Amino acid sequence: MNKNKLFLPKDCIRARFVRRIKRFTILASKDGQDIWAHTNNSGSMLGLLKPGRTLLLSPAKNPKRKLPYTLELIYMGHFWVGVNTSVPNKMLKIIWENKLIPEWAVYERFIPEARLNQSRLDAKLEGRGGVLWVEAKNVTLVEDDVAYFPDAQSERARKHLRELIGLAKKGHQVACFYLIQRPDCNCFGPADFIDPEFAKLFWQAIKAGVKMYPFQAVVDEQGIALGKRLSLVENGAIY
């Protein structure tokens, strides 16, 4: 078994997308039957949810749950896109355990969902490298070979960046991990054409000392693995 991979349940099913109802409910169809699924992705999933597209749905762990399935992947015709927003958090542990990001090899302890004063971050790494606070985000939007975040106006995402900037200015080591769950891109940047305030905060965060880690995922029906690190792009310039 590949220890570097986050595996999906073996009893996932394929279904066809019909429509999204409110923010967190998906109606799909399989063999003429309606299939109801939960999505934890509160973003727009811009360009992904089109009628007839193939979805990969995982069964709910609780058989009594109102929505019996969870949306995991969307098939774009030639590749899958991962839309489950819990995946980046889970990948953090795999990355740390297997030393997939060399800079994180100096940390011997991994604490998920750690609190620092009024802030709660997705992970806290501790060790001879000191303490590193990490926030994780899922990325599904690609335009003209560039991956972007967020895919909709997001006060929550702006709030998280403000918190990271504040922590960095107080001397804490802080990082933001962006998992791009699709293969059709070569660089990453904040979506200034969707949320200009987030983009402004993104570059302010870098100047304040927040480390940005945009990584492409390798996605298939079996699960998600970490791919290559992507360069950042600003105003068309890649660095």
For residues 131 and 167, the answer to whether their CB atoms sit within 8 Å is no
Where in the chain is CATH 3.40.1350.60? Answer: 87-238
Q: Assess if CATH 3.40.1350.60 describes domain 87-238.
A: yes
Structure tokens at 190: 């904040």
User: Where are the CATH 2.40.50.580 domain residues in the chain?
Assistant: 5-82
CATH 2.40.50.580 for the 5-82 domain, yes or no: yes
pLDDT (tens digit, 0 to 9) for every residue of the chain, 239 residues total?
577 899 999 999 999 999 999 889 999 999 999 999 999 998 899 899 999 999 999 999 887 889 999 999 999 999 999 999 999 999 999 999 999 999 999 999 999 998 877 778 999 999 998 999 999 999 999 999 999 999 999 999 999 999 999 999 999 999 999 999 999 999 999 999 999 999 999 999 999 999 999 999 999 999 999 999 999 987 666 66
User: Which pairing describes strands 25-30 and 33-38: parallel, antiparallel, or unpaired?
Assistant: antiparallel
Triad 177, 178, 184: Cα angle to 5°: 150
Q: Taking Cα atoms as reference points, which of 6, 3, 13 lies closest to residue 225?
A: 6
